[in-house]
């Protein structure tokens, strides 16, 4: 991929929303919401504490995370739409 996040940042590939809702209704592109779930592709080393040690990152490559709808920075790398999120933007890890 060629991206190495810094500090407490995480690179996520958003999962696409389903196009068909319950009952078989197909949603047009304009009615779809922004994805709020994605797969972690890369994890930074963690934020540096005041004493110089690094915080351990609670997420790992391959985890499926849930994040805020408008969180992070959207980028495109190798034709893929990705997001760079701060650890504080991640709300949960799917078990």
What domains can you pick out in the chain, each with its CATH number?
9-17+26-93 (2.30.33.40)
User: Which H, E and C letters describe the chain, residue by residue?
Assistant: CCCCCCCCEEEEEECCCCCECCCCCECCHHHCCCCCEEEEEEECCCCECCCCCECCCCCCCCCEEEECCCCCEEEEECCEEEEEEEHHHEEEECC
pLDDT at res. 54: 95
Q: Could you read off the pLDDT of 2-30 as tens digits, one per residue?
A: 899 999 999 999 987 655 556 777 766 55
Q: Provide the whole-model pTM.
A: 0.80
Report in angstroms the alpha-carbon separations of 67 from 30, 31, 79, 95.
Answer: 21, 20, 22, 15
């Amino acid at each position: 991929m060629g991206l190495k996040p810094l500090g407490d940042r995480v690179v996520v590939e958003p999962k696409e929303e389903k196009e068909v809702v319950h009952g078989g209704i197909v949603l047009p592109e304009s009615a779809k919401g922004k994805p709020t779930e994605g797969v972690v592709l890369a994890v930074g080393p963690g934020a540096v504490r005041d004493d110089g040690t690094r915080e351990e990152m609670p997420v790992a490559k391959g985890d499926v995370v849930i994040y805020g709808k408008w969180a992070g920075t959207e980028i495109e790398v190798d034709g893929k739409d990705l997001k760079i999120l701060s650890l504080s933007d991640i709300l949960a890890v799917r078990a």
